[in-house]
Amino acid sequence: MSAPLLSIEGLRVGFRNASGGLVEAVRGIDFSVEPGEAVGVVGESGSGKSLSMLAVMRLLGSPARTTGGRVMFDGRDLLSIDEARMRAIRGRDIAMVFQDPQSSLNPALTIGRQITDVVRAHRRVSGTEARRIAAETLERVGIRDAGKRLDAYPHEFSGGMRQRALIAMAIACRPRLLIADEPTTALDVTVQAQIVDLIAELRRDLGIAVIFISHNLQLVAEIVDRVVVMYGGKVVEDGPVEAIEREPRHPYTGLLQACVPSLTGPVGPLVTIEGSPPRLGRMPQGCPFSPRCPRAESRCETQMPPLVVDFDQRFACWRPL
């Protein structure tokens, strides 16, 4: 088997709270991505999905910072290389599409300018060539009349088209890894499904490895090879998508799977999980899911279960399904 493209090892992200203590939102996560593989990272709001990916890209804003772990890419630890090197990798080898498309596009610059800027930051090409690449990339993400659309400003695009433009910026330099943080509130479900399809298509046609972040297990399951389930800043389960769907072992995964949001029917899950995720700084001592878990027993509250490996599936639970 080939070496993984990206390997996240023991990654931790934390903040200093008002009294100077460290509060960790990502508490030692491990997973890897093979070349060309699509991995879904799923979990409810606040589970640490975005922070972990921002840490991988070294784009955490203050006060968040990486407090431990390694991120191996191409044999180098991204967390220890210098900023100039990281800047060369970001956008060229690893690109990220952010959760909030509004704030990721500059409203004052045309779409074409924003794509050509990315191209010219990483490749020595003429202005004309950069514009040709930009038009071709915009076309690739499904925007018709791409040549003309280059001169449009972001406000002239619909939400779905802005999302496509952001994906165009991300893939303009043909990265080896695309990290897509699913826009949750900005887009309606139909557009969201189209974006998921687009990412699946790009991955198939261009061979780009993908990390797809989502709340929605069913949505990502359609396009990924493997699923990583996060809860309370930890990976609670991961494995091949078929195994996760057919035989989830962690009760949280089981409940996520029972949440069946419909693409055509009313918006919102038919089944919701009782209670709410733990708050930062108030993490249970044991399993973070124990306060909401229908299967929890007393040791679940006091002892963090280790990750158990069962063939190619891993789960951290004292009372697995």
Mask for 5-34, x = binds ligand ATP (CB under 6 A): ----------x---------x---------
Helix (H, G, I), strand (E, B) or coil at 164: helix
DSSP state of 90: B
**51 makes contact with ligand ATP (CB under 6 A):** yes
**104 makes contact with Mg ion (CB under 5 A):** no
Q: Where are the alpha helices (H) located in 99-234, listed in sequence order?
A: 101-104, 111-122, 127-140, 146-149, 159-171, 189-206, 217-221
**186 makes contact with ligand ATP (CB under 6 A):** no
Q: Which residue is nearest to Mg ion (CB)?
A: 50
Q: Could you tell me which of 13, 6, 21 has the C-alpha nearest to residue 69?
A: 13
212 binds, among Mg ion, ligand ATP, none (CB under 5 to 8 A by kind): none
308 binds, among Mg ion, ligand ATP, none (CB under 5 to 8 A by kind): none
Please state the φ and ψ torsions of residue 256, each to the nearest 5 degrees. Answer: -60, -40
- Cα(28)–Cα(200) distance, integer angstroms: 29
**45 makes contact with ligand ATP (CB under 6 A):** yes
In angstroms, what is the minimal distance from the CB of 11 to Mg ion? 15
Specify the residue, 43 or 154, whose C-beta has the smaller distance to ligand ATP: 43
Q: Name which of residues 250 to 289 contact ligand ATP (CB under 6 A).
A: 280
**49 makes contact with ligand ATP (CB under 6 A):** yes
313 binds, among Mg ion, ligand ATP, none (CB under 5 to 8 A by kind): none
Phi-psi sector, 24: left (phi>0), alpha (psi -120 to 50), beta: beta
How many CB atoms neighbour CB 46 within 10 A? 18
In angstroms, what is the minimal distance from the CB of 59 to Mg ion? 13
**66 makes contact with ligand ATP (CB under 6 A):** no
Pairing between strand 226-231 and 234-240? antiparallel
Among 48-56, 115-123, 126-134, 160-168, the segment contacting Mg ion (CB under 5 A): 48-56
Among 50, 66, 114, 313, binds Mg ion (CB under 5 A): 50
Q: Return the beta strands (E) in the chain as ranges.
A: 6-16, 22-33, 38-42, 65-73, 76-77, 94-97, 177-181, 209-214, 226-231, 234-240, 308-310, 313-315
In angstroms, what is the minimal distance from the CB of 268 to ligand ATP? 15
Specify the residue, 137 or 214, whose C-beta has the smaller distance to Mg ion: 214
Helix (H, G, I), strand (E, B) or coil at 160: helix
C-alpha distances (whole Å) from 198 to each of 116, 143, 165, 168, 202 are: 21, 11, 12, 11, 6
Specify the residue, 56 or 119, whose C-beta has the smaller distance to ligand ATP: 56
- Chain residues binding ligand ATP by CB under 6 A are 15, 25, 43, 45-51, 63-64, 99, 215, 280
